[in-house]
Chain A
Amino acid sequence: MAVKNKSEETIQSRSLAQETWRRLLKNKGAVFGMCFLVLLVIVALLSGFLYDYDTQIIQMNMSEALQPPSAAHWFGTDSLGRDIFARVLYGARYSLLIGVGSVTIGLIVGVTLGAIAGFYGGVVDQVIMRCVDVFYSIPNIMIAVVVVSLLGTSTINLLIALCFTCATSFCRIARAAVMTIRDQEYVESAYAMGLPTWKIILKHIIPNCLSPIIVQVTLLIGTTIIAASSLSFLGIGVPSPAPEWGAMLSDGRQHMRDAAYLCVIPGLAIMMTVLALNLLGDGLRDALDPKMKK
């Protein structure tokens, strides 16, 4: 009996976060994704100390232009003689900043609107969701292009342009999640206790629909990184000479015949980052909701 009580206590003492973490660690793909992302964040933070932006990242050095990968330049140099390795490491900053920044703004705006729509229903729901539908019917890239041309090209404006797409996604997910739990007994009892509506939404409803939102965060950061590099590739993203991966690909395109590595390496950097985020997202989904694992 004593043993049984002890084992029950052990099971009960593990919180949802601990249980999720335990399940996540069992997923090899998610662990790879997590390790890669931790490394990327460290690299992005350290690149500012390792390289001087003005002299090593953007300064031209024509005597060393278009050198293939070697011991001196691990990933070679571009048409202006800049070291690709340094630029790729430094470029992680832009991708992570835009990815995380856009998703964070989108998360705050989208979850708030989605929670309001799902909680109140009726006219409020109709108005908010029809606006979301309109944004859904316009291709993401077109919205971003219109916003960037409205505000001008800069990293911050790109970040704002991309947060629209994130907000609409979060809004739909949050609304669906809130609608499923707004009629639960604990919400009713919170009402009966006289708690204000905003407190009920913030303290009782949103924490209970976090799982799909957390999964969407990781997946959307990946999508946003691809969208940001796409816009830079089109020449309307992060302005030159910043070492954004999409912009580097666009520059490298002109030298595809003689220096293919200029196109290969930045693309690999984008793909590996997004792959790591997708692996983590899939792992989180399985860990947060084991029933979903098929």
Chain B
Amino acid sequence: MIRYIIKRLLLMIPAILATSLIIFVAMNMTGGDPVDSLAPENATEEQIEEIREELGLNDPLLVRYIKYMGGMLHGDLGVSYVTKKDVFATFAERLPATLKLACSSVFVATLVALPLGIYTAIHQNTWKDTGGMIFALFGVSMPNFWLGLMLILFFSLGLGWFPSGGYGGLRNLILPAVTVGLGFAALITRTTRSAMLDVVRQDYMTTARAKGVPEKKVIFGHGLKNALIPIITVIGMQLSNALTGSVLAETVFSWPGVGRLIVDSISKRDTPMVTGSIIMCCILVCIVNVAVDLIYAFFDPRIKAQYAKKG
């Protein structure tokens, strides 16, 4: 098992290398010279050349990339062209806000979607099922930045229950978490329903009922446990999305997360900040994926046996 985990962690390396290469090349191809923003207004040719030499901008792209990755191995992601701050420190500063939003939004999504998915599957082809699926369809079709604005309009400007933005305690967290979470809930509901439908018709469910096992235990103990793998997969995918793609909710609610940091840095052509932040996000996503694989083993002994074999 431990060998399997190490193997999976090592497999992260090619993914990180490829992602970093694409981002590094793309960011260096974008128009504009970083020296323009770094050099003083009346800088002489010599001064500009000195800055270029200092930043290593005169080296070929591949050499710069290798040097950059070499620095990364020592925990050095470079220094921002714009703020002159250490990239890793800036990322670490923003990370708690992103983790807070990602975890709470996935929590909201699971809290809504899991019971709803099970309920619609049990009541398949009834109005209850149709109602649940319409909710899911609206959730998938709604742009989440618009949902965020509507929540602000109603709960913040209308009822005054929650602040309309900013980073802080639980009251600040509720609206962004619901905004991001409801979009995820739609997908998790669909997956849960579909996975439960696959399971409810199995013979072992009929056998359990015939043995007189209470219906609740049949659904949760026998049904849900066997339907959990695709549900965990989709929850893990949503967590990865929330870690990196909540930029819209962050913008609507002025939430100081990593997504906003990356988009702002891209528009300012801050190459070290963009590259470093995206590599860190990529590492986070890979860790989430490995964690999801390990959770599979926790819920399904067959998968655990497979891992032990592979390891």
Contact = CB atoms under 8 A, between A and B. Distances in A.
A146 B282 contact: no
Contacts of A150: 26, 29-31
Given A130-B18, A139-B281, A264-B150, A226 B23 contact: no
Given A134-B19, A150-B29, A234-B251, A142 B143 contact: no
A145 B157 CA distance: 31
Nearest to B145: A233
B185 interface: no
A133 B14 CA distance: 11
Nearest to B14: A130
Contacts of B197: 294
Most buried by B among A139, A145, A279: A139
Contact of A271 (B141, B194, B241, B251): B141
Given A139-B245, A140-B245, A142-B278, A278 B146 contact: no
B35 interface: no
B266 A149 contact: yes
Given A270-B143, A271-B141, A142 B244 contact: yes
Given A137-B15, A270-B146, A145 B26 contact: no
B153 A271 contact: no
A278 B140 contact: yes
B196 to A, nearest CB: 10
B30 A141 contact: no
B266 A146 contact: yes
B30 A138 contact: no
Contact of B263 (A234, A249, A275, A282): A234
B294 interface: no
Nearest to A233: B145
A225 B244 CA distance: 20
Contacts of A137: 15, 19, 282, 285-286
Nearest to B121: A294
A275 B248 contact: no
Contact of A294 (B150, B194, B245): B194
Interface of B: 14-15, 18-19, 22-23, 26-27, 29-31, 124, 137-138, 140-143, 145-146, 149-150, 152-153, 157, 194, 197, 241, 244-245, 247-248, 251-252, 259, 262-263, 266-267, 269, 274, 278, 281-282, 285-286
Interface of A: 130-131, 133-134, 137-142, 145-147, 149-150, 152, 222, 226, 229-230, 233-234, 236, 246, 249, 253, 256-257, 260, 263-264, 267, 270-271, 274-275, 277-279, 282, 294
Given A146-B23, A236-B267, 17 more contacts: A130-B14, A134-B15, A134-B18, A137-B285, A138-B23, A141-B245, A142-B266, A146-B26, A146-B30, A149-B267, A150-B31, A152-B31, A253-B252, A270-B143, A271-B138, A278-B140, A278-B141
11 contacts: A139-B241, A146-B274, A229-B143, A236-B263, A253-B149, A253-B252, A270-B146, A271-B138, A271-B141, A278-B140, A278-B141
